[in-house]
Each structure stands twice: as structure tokens, then as C-alpha cells.
Amino acid sequence: MAVALLRTLSSSSSSTPSPAAPIVAFSTSYNSPSCIPSSFKRRSRPSNCLRSASGTHASVVATPAEGSSDLKELRDCYTTWRWKGFGINYLVKGTGPPLLLVHGFGASVGHWRRNIGVLSENYTVYALDLLGFGASEKPPGFAYTMEGWAQLILDFLDEIVKKPTVLVGNSVGSLACVIAASEATGNLVRGLVLLNCAGGMNNKAIVDDWRIKLLLPLLWLFDFLLNQRAIASALFERVKRRENLKNILLSVYGNKDAVDEDLIEIIKGPADDEGALDAFVSIVTGPPGPNPVSLMPKISIPVLVLWGDQDPFTPLDGPVGKYFSSLPSELSNVKLFVLPEVGHCPHDDRPDLVHEKLLPWLASLPSIT
């Protein structure tokens, strides 16, 4: 993380990012302001967005065919849920057993643009912006933690979904789902889908990797520098430039054609909001949180692991990738599929490959009683 950010700051915008660069994109635009940005505020709901009388749910009737959902269509259907006094943005679409989609670093509900339409044909699909992301609130001075996001997920299931739910997460969103599933009581979580699960909220968690051990002094120095407001602001402004974000995303994705203007806007939009810098610094310098290695043995529900083999952020040959690769031989409830020529965000990189594995797995789960 430190190397990628420092390189981005010192290099020209047209240079090719380092192999560590993906963390820039998924840390930089991770968050936004202390209020819902104007471009994401809830607006008059179109006819294809129906709400219950209580005003807590939004149900989208129209289901697009396979392919990308229009971002405006998704944003028109956003609904706000109050959690611990904060506004949390979410969307619900379709009918059937519930799924909850949880994004990764720098992303939001829009990052599931290529999945919501397909999944909502047979499932009630919920997708939310975690606190500090997308159109959810970004409270000033808030200390972000993995445990806090996991509790948000559990409370969302308890207060909004109110049915046994399959959690689907990417990157740090996967880890939040793992933590939530390990702490869930009763039958609140009925299945878990992990797309290139992160080892922690930041790279300081991956201490078993010799590459991270080598860089630890630099990471500590980088944390110190980020706590200097002028330095952090200068770095953040450079990283979130459109051309830099595009280069970074190209290094994250195996399918370069998936890096389109909509994706850049999904990442860049929240990064331009007031308060984004504070959240960025909190996340990069904060505690990494629980390690999935210690949590997965506690989980007995069905688990599907999908891993892009071209991920430079959590590579298959790294400690987290190796651990998840070994799980099917150790835990009977875990299935693993490695997706060829796919990067850190399989659901947006190659949604066809993800759906090919995900849909049969979902269909094989026991029916909700």
C-alpha cells in the first residue's frame, strides 16, 4: 500500500502502476463526506421502484437482462436506513430468497452493476454502502473498523431483511461478511460467498507474507506521513485523478475492457466529496481487524470461494490466497473455484464466470423454511 501510494505521488500520471497499486484504488475512493453527496441523495422514485408503506424498503420491479445495470437506474432506487444515527444507503431488487451484496475498498452499490439484474431474476437482492462508502454517511473523525462494518451487516439483516440471508462480499467486504457470519446467531446467515477475500482492512494484517515483513518499516513511516494533513491531502489529490485511477484499475482487472467510464465514476465520485480524505486516512492507518484464518473454522454454513488468479492485491501465492486454497480439503462446507485471467474484483471483471459458479451453488442451498 505504502509503495503504491508513494509511487503514484512521485510518478507521472501516465506511468504504469506498480504491482501493489491496486490498493490505491480501493483505499482512495473508499469514502466520501460527512453527509450524503448531492449526486447520490434519494430522489423522487420512478415507477419501477416500489416502497413499502413503512418507507424502509425499496423494491425494484424491472429486471434487466444479462449485462450491466444503468447506474442512474440503480441510484434512482436508493433508500436510506438509519443505523446508530447514521444514514446508510441501500438498494433492494427482485423477489425470492435474500442475498446481501457487500462491496470492497473504494466501491459502493454501483460496483455490483453487472450482477444485480441477473441475481434479481430469482432472488431478492440487497446491496448496501457500508458506513464511509458511496452514498452512506461519512461521519467526521469516525474510527473505521472491520468489527464495526460486520455489526452493521448483522443489524441490517436483523432490522431490514429479517430472513436467513446469503452474504456475498468482495475484498474487504468479504472479510466483513466473514466476521459477521462468525458472530451471527440463529439462522440469520445461511450461506457465504467470498470473492478474493482481504486479509484485513489494510496491508498491515498480512504479516505472514515476507513481502509485507520487508515493507513494515515503510508502512509505519507511511502511516506517520498520512497523519500529516498537508502530505495526506497532496497524495490523495494526486491518486484520485481520473487518469491515475484508470491506470490503477487496469492493474487490478484481468479483463481490461471492464474498466470503463462508469467504473471510474463509481470509484472517483465519492473520492471527490468533502470528508473523503479523513476516511481514507482512518482506513489506511487504522487497525487491520480480525484475520480470516482465525475465523473460517468457526463457520459451519455453506461457503463458496471464488478467486481471480490475476489478483495483485491478494494473490493466490500470498498467505491469504494459500489459506483459502487449502480450505476445501480441510472444511467440508467450503467450495473453491479459481477464475482464470481474472483480477481482484471478479464480479465486475468477469461476471459471466462468477455467475456460472454462483448460480448453481445458490440453487443447491437448502430451501428457507
C-alpha–C-alpha distance, residues 175 and 283, integer Å: 14
**Phi, psi values for residue 115, rounded to 5°:** -120, -30
The confidence score (pLDDT) of residue 167 equals 98
Secondary structure class of 102 (helix, strand, coil):
strand
Query: What pLDDT score was predicted for residue 206?
Result: 57
| Dist CA 9 CA 1 (whole Å) | 12
> Residue 109: what pLDDT?
96
Residue 105: what pLDDT?
A: 86
Please give, one letter per residue, the 3-state secondary structure of 67-82.
CCCCHHHHHHCCEEEE
| pTM exceeds 0.95 | no
What's the confidence (pLDDT) of residue 140?
82
Q: Determine the pLDDT at residue 5.
A: 44
pLDDT of residue 232: 73
**How many Cβ atoms from other residues are within 10 Å of residue 1's Cβ?**
23
Given this model, what pLDDT does residue 358 score?
98
- Confidence at residue 209, expressed as pLDDT on a 0 to 100 scale: 58
Q: How many CB atoms lie within 10 A of CB 301?
A: 16
* Contact (CB, 8 A) for 298 and 180: no
Contact 245, 332 (CB under 8 A): no
Length of the chain, please? 369
Q: Is 191 helix (H, G, I), strand (E, B) or coil?
A: strand
Q: In whole angstroms, give the CA distance from residue 180 to residue 242.
A: 34
Its CATH class, for the domain covering 2-364, is alpha beta
Which stretches of the chain drop beneath a pLDDT of 50? 1-66, 207
Domain ranges in the chain? 2-364
SS3 304: strand
Contacts of 176 (CB under 8 A, 6+ apart): 102, 130, 146, 149, 150, 153, 169
pLDDT digits (tens, 9 = 90+) for 114-148: 999 999 999 999 999 999 989 999 888 889 999 99
